[in-house]
């Protein structure tokens, strides 16, 4: 029986086209999903779009488009983003999908109601459209939402409320005990500091004010609140409320989300699941925000990075490498083309590209393009280094420090460079053929492992290296007597034109 592994990203609002922050989240999840597939897990990777709520309606109005047409166009762009970034998601869920998603949102609603956890009350509050949430006065700075820089709307209406307070102790316990892991630790503490003060949450909006959404079962006057609708995507995509065909993937192993939406995932969602009698996700991984040239990305500043343009300019694996290496998985990080180009020239062209070139040239020139692998030629030092790097790789991916996983691969690349400079195979061949063969075998073993480790991060590059050396990446181990046959192609990372 294969181990099941289920990973999700947040589902993005279809209130505008994707930006580079969305691409980062897709990429982080993609690396983890690809890694688990390589490790042999039965992996399911979900992403999608969050298409209801006032922010989406307002964006459609601003664009003079019918909401349905607008969300269809935006959802298409997010799907295109998954293709452009070589994201290996198994499914794409849309909350406007009346066949797959709506029945699930309504079913969980009824489960919550059945548990006595929904009640109606008149409510007056400050609603931030950007957050799609009511805010406390204390959350505001001079009456303005500090994140969206807008004044929340005063709303007075009758809503359904969810008894979050009934579950907060139990959710807190699960977080504290690590039964529901929150990574990194600082985000776990952040939630533990908030959870005691959590109040019941508004779970619906009157349909007279907002028609675009899922009707509350048995109450046509009300629409399900966008968050209590959206969170359900993680199980609607598995068939909850329908044929349940993929529910054996539940509970999710990882919900990957940005820091701004942690409380919805670490408080409201688990409380909903407890109320509905479903198990909680095993872990929530929280990433930071991308800034651009040191500034928050915003339409007003005009510095929103178009993720498609960047890919067209540099190529998919280069952007994948840059975002995953430069930006710490759990912290904020900065995007700039200057830094991207520096990393390209340094780490890729002069680093990995140059190493591959040096080794392949030697095999081509001095070995008639072929090397037959013999395990006995692998030195203790190289073997130990490779094992150390494989273990560190696993730990970094499992602890959600993906940037360090890449740093770790580049340590192996630097090790190979130094090994080559110290052992000088070009000199060895002149006096000791056996020594030369030993050096080359060790270098090829390192290249094989570098490519193997790179697969989840830079799948196309790993495949190119595999082809260049006639390698076989289907297994981490190299078979005894495996024949590497060099196939010279173009340069892996040509120098960028200035």
Q: Name which of 53 and 425 has its Cβ closer to ligand MSP.
A: 53
Give the binding range for ligand MSP (CB under 6 A) out of 21-29, 30-38, 175-183, 356-364: 21-29
Minimum distance of ligand MSP from residue 299's CB (angstroms) = 12
Which residue of 5, 7, 17, 24 would you call a contact of ligand MSP, by CB under 6 A?
Answer: 24
* Nearest distance in Å: CB 247, ligand MSP: 18
The interface region with ligand MSP, picked from 22-30, 349-357, 370-378, 483-491 by CB under 6 A, is 22-30
Residue 423 token pair: 């052992």
The answer to whether 93 contacts ligand MSP (rule: CB under 6 A) is: no
Q: Considering the complex, what minimum distance in angstroms separates the CB of residue 466 from ligand MSP?
A: 32
Q: What is the DSSP string of 167-217?
A: HHHHHHHHHHHTSSEEESHHHHHHHHHHHTT---EE-EEETTT--SSPEET
Q: Give the Cα separation of 345 and 348 in Å (integer).
A: 6
The CB-based long-range contact list for 364-369 (8 Å cut-off, 24+ gap) reads 364/486, 364/488, 366/425, 366/426, 366/429, 366/436, 367/440, 369/485, 369/486
- Is 25 a binding residue for ligand MSP by CB under 6 A? The answer is yes
Q: Which stretch binds ligand MSP (CB under 6 A): 20-28, 202-210, 307-315, 407-415?
A: 20-28
Number of residues in contact with ligand MSP under rule CB under 6 A: 19
Does residue 87 bind ligand MSP (CB under 6 A)?
Answer: no
Distances (CA, A) of 456 to 81, 247, 449, 470: 18, 26, 13, 20
Query: Between 166 and 263, whose beta carbon lies closer to ligand MSP?
Result: 263
Q: Interface with ligand MSP includes 290 (CB under 6 A)?
A: yes
Residues found in the chain: 498
Looking at the Cβ atoms of 292 and 458, the one nearer to ligand MSP is 292
When binding is defined by CB under 6 A, the residue of 5, 7, 22, 106 that contacts ligand MSP is: 22
Crossing angle between the packed helical segments 380-398 and 433-454, to the nearest 10 degrees: 0
What backbone torsions phi and psi does residue 64 show, to the nearest 5 degrees? 55, 45
C-beta of 344: minimal distance to ligand MSP in Å?
Answer: 21
336, exposed or middle or buried, with CB in 10 Å at 0-12, 13-18, 19+?
middle
Residue 258 vs 307, nearer CB to ligand MSP: 258
Q: Helix count (H) and strand count (E) of the chain?
A: 19, 19
Residue 390: φ, ψ to 5°: -65, -40
Q: How far is the CB of 25 from ligand MSP (least distance, A)?
A: 5
Which residues 6+ apart lie within 8 Å of 423 measured at CB?
439
Residue 231 is a binding residue for ligand MSP (CB under 6 A)? yes
Interface positions, 334-393, toward ligand MSP (CB under 6 A): none
Binding map of ligand MSP across residues 39-78, x = CB under 6 A, - = no contact: -----------x----------------------------
Minimum distance from residue 56 beta carbon to ligand MSP (Å): 9
Q: Return d(Cα 312, Cα 309) in angstroms, integer.
A: 5
Tokens of 274: 């407890």
Q: Map residues 242-261 to x or -, x wherever contact with ligand MSP holds by CB under 6 A.
A: ---------------xx-xx
- Measured CA to CA, the distance from residue 186 to residue 199 in angstroms comes to 22
99 three-state secondary structure: coil
Q: What is the DSSP letter of 151?
A: P
User: How many C-beta neighbours within 10 Å does residue 325 have?
Assistant: 21
CB of 205 to ligand MSP, least distance (A): 16
Q: Is 456 in the site for ligand MSP (CB under 6 A)?
A: no
Q: Give the binding range for ligand MSP (CB under 6 A) out of 5-13, 62-70, 236-244, 380-388.
A: 5-13
Binding site for ligand MSP (CB under 6 A): 10-13, 21-22, 24-25, 50, 230-231, 233, 257-258, 260-261, 289-290, 297
């Amino acid at each position: 029986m294969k181990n099941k592994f289920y990973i999700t990203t947040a589902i993005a609002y279809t209130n505008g086209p994707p930006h580079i922050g969305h691409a980062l989240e897709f990429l982080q999840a993609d690396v983890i999903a690809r890694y688990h597939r390589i490790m042999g897990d039965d992996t399911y990777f979900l992403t999608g779009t969050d298409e209801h709520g006032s922010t989406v309606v307002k964006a459609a109005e601003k664009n003079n488009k019918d909401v349905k047409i607008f969300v269809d166009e935006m959802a298409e762009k997010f799907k295109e983003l998954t293709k452009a970034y070589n994201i290996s998601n198994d499914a794409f869920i849309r909350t406007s999908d009346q066949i797959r998603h709506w029945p699930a949102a309504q079913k969980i609603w009824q489960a919550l109601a059945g548990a006595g956890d929904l009640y109606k009350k008149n409510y007056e509050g400050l609603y931030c459209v950007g957050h799609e949430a009511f805010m406390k006065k204390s959350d505001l700075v001079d009456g303005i939402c500090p994140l969206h820089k807008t004044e929340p709307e005063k709303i007075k209406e009758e809503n359904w409320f969810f008894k979050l307070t009934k579950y907060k102790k139990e959710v807190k316990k699960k977080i504290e005990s690590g039964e529901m892991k929150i990574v990194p630790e600082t985000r776990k503490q952040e939630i533990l500091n908030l959870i005691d003060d959590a109040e019941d949450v508004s779970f619906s909006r009157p349909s007279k004010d907002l028609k675009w959404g899922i009707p509350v079962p048995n109450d046509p006057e009300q629409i399900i609140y966008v968050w209590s609708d959206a969170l359900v995507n993680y199980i609607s995509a598995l068939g909850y409320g329908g044929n349940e065909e993929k529910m054996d993937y539940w509970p999710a192993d990882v919900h990957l989300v940005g820091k701004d939406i942690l409380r919805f995932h670490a408080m409201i969602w688990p409380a909903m699941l407890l109320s509905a009698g479903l198990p909680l996700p095993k872990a929530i991984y929280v990433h930071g925000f991308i800034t651009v040239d040191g500034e928050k990305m915003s339409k007003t500043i005009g510095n929103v990075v178009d993720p498609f343009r960047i890919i067209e300019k540099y190529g998919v694996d280069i952007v994948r490498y840059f975002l995953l290496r430069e930006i710490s998985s759990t912290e904020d990080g900065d995007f700039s083309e200057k830094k991207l180009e520096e990393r390209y020239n340094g780490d890729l062209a002069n680093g990995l590209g140059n190493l591959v070139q040096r080794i392949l040239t030697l095999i081509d020139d001095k070995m008639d393009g072929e090397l037959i692998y013999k395990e006995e030629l692998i030195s203790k030092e190289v073997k130990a280094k490779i094992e150390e790097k494989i273990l560190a790789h696993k730990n970094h991916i499992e602890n959600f420090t993906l940037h360090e996983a890449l740093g770790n691969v580049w340590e192996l690349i630097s090790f190979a460079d130094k090994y080559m400079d110290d052992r000088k195979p070009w000199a060895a061949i002149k006096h000791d053929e056996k020594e030369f063969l030993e050096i080359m075998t060790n270098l090829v073993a390192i290249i094989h492992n570098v490519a193997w480790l790179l697969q989840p991060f830079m799948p196309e590059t790993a495949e190119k290296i595999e082809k260049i050396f006639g390698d076989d990446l289907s297994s981490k181990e190299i078979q005894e007597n495996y024949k590497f046959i060099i196939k010279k192609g173009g340069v892996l990372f040509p120098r960028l034109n200035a």
